[in-house]
Structure 1
Amino acid sequence: MLPNQKINEIALSEKLEVSRTPVREALIQLASENLLEFFPRRGFIVKEIDTKKKLDVFSVVGVLDAFAATLALENLTEDDIELMEELVRKIDLSISQKNYTDYQKYQNQFHKVYIDKCYNSTLIELLDSLQNSFVRQIYLSKDEEKLFTALEQMNEQHKQIIDYFNTKDKESLEHLIKNEHWKITHIDMI
């Protein structure tokens, strides 16, 4: 769906083969997450999020994600590290196959490993909320070469994050996530 596009509840419920009630509930949830706008007697419209707002959210996510990583530093197990390494390999494969959907799935799982190990429920909820509302797709572009080059750079940073977890280098870990990993360098693709 494109920004400012009206959502047809009836067509959506028919396509999903469900009644309008669960569709409406889902649309209300999406509106509460700032993805849709509700207009009485007109329905739901896809919300347009301007570039500045996206950049603001990414900078907040960077700080919160770095905080979660530093809190998780002492809590990660060898199994957690191995899982993150496996996810990095899956991300590499997704990139090589130009499979953006799998890339997104594995990228989110990668961050979730250490976010869940920060053991701060408020922080976890905030990051989940921001991820669901704004950060679901960091980069989008019709130029596949440019898109997947950017994703490769991000996955190289995932490898560095793992190295910092392994060496318990809290300062470098925090700096990388806060100042580099969530810094948007390809503004034309957000």
Structure 2
Amino acid sequence: MTNEFRSLKDHVYDYIADLIDGGTLGDDHKISEQQICDALGVSRTPVREALIQLAADGYLENVPRKGFYVKRVTEDSAREIVEVIAPLDGRAALLAVDEMTDDDIAQLQFLHGSMQLAIDKGLYKKYDDLQRDFHNCYVEKCGNSRLIEFVHQLNRYFMKREYANVDAADLDALLRKANDEHAEIVRLFEQRDGAALQRYIRDVHWSSDNAKFLVW
């Protein structure tokens, strides 16, 4: 019974997190518990448990007597998240470097090329999906389940970006720069240079100076 309840709560958690990640629920959006119940055909108990967990994980803000709202990511909070994820993602790459097969590295190359094509065509949401797949490709190979969980959780903060209010030229330049960094990550994986890979991801790709570009 306990395991069944826990898996149901996790299902609700993933459903709400996906709505946030996909931009369906934007910053400051109030979560309707009843709508979630109706959409999933579940009672309020697992929905409430999932909302509490989402608030604890930083997705939502629990406002007393008002309810749960999607938490806005500010430049300051983005910088704090970057300062945490940078060493974790770099560590994951270091642990993964000897576990990555030639096929895995070929997949990184494919994803890098696909991201470039998405930028060229202005498919920025597609770019975000591909970027997530790119990082997951090596994070999933690091062999540390807790590290994988932490990196995935932190990455999701940056998956609900809106591009409508960003200058097109600035956005194009930013994403091309980021994808050039992806190319360097691929090159370092090809060389199996774990130490350089860790430093590059930690100090360059996740530079705290870029935090302001992670908030749209």
Task: State TM-score, norm by structure 1.
Answer: 0.84
* Alignment pair present for 1:50 and 2:67: no
Q: How many residues align?
A: 188
CA contact (8 A) 1:139 1:147 kept: no
For 2:13, the equivalent position in structure 1 comes to none
For 1:105, the equivalent position in structure 2 comes to 129
For the residue of structure 2 that corresponds to 1:185, the secondary structure is helix
Gaps of 5+ in 1: none
TM-superposition CA deviations, 1:32-86 (whole Å, max 9, x none): 3212112354221222333222101112211111111111111110000011111
2:159 partner amino acid: R
* Alignment pair present for 1:165 and 2:189: yes
CA contact (8 A) 2:26 2:160 kept: no
Q: C-alpha separation between the residues in 2 aligned to 1:135 and 1:185?
A: 12
* Alignment pair present for 1:36 and 2:64: no
Map residues 51-90 of structure 1 onto 2, 5 A cutoff. Answer: 51-90=75-114
TM-superposed CA distance for 1:94, in Å, is 1.1
TM-superposed CA distance for 1:104, in Å, is 0.9
1:135 pairs, out of 158, 170, 193, with 158
For 2:210, the equivalent position in structure 1 comes to 185
Cα 1:19–1:120 change in 2 (3 A) is closer
Q: How high is the sequence identity, in percent, across the aligned residues?
A: 32
Which one is further off, 36-45 or 20-29? 20-29
For 2:119, the equivalent position in structure 1 comes to 95
TM-superposed CA distance for 1:6, in Å, is 2.8
TM-superposition CA deviations, 1:77-128 (whole Å, max 9, x none): 0000011111111111111111121111110111111111110112111111
Cα 1:120–1:42 change in 2 (3 A) is same
* Alignment pair present for 1:117 and 2:146: no
Map residues 4-43 of structure 1 onto 2, 5 A cutoff. Answer: 4-10=28-34, 16=39, 21=44, 27-43=51-67
CA contact (8 A) 2:112 2:179 kept: yes
Cα 1:17–1:174 change in 2 (3 A) is closer
Cα 1:127–1:138 change in 2 (3 A) is farther
CA contact (8 A) 2:78 2:214 kept: no
Task: State TM-score, norm by structure 2.
Answer: 0.75
1:58 partner amino acid: V
2:136 partner amino acid: K
TM-superposed CA distance for 1:142, in Å, is 2.2
Alpha-carbon RMSD across the aligned residues, in angstroms, is 2.5
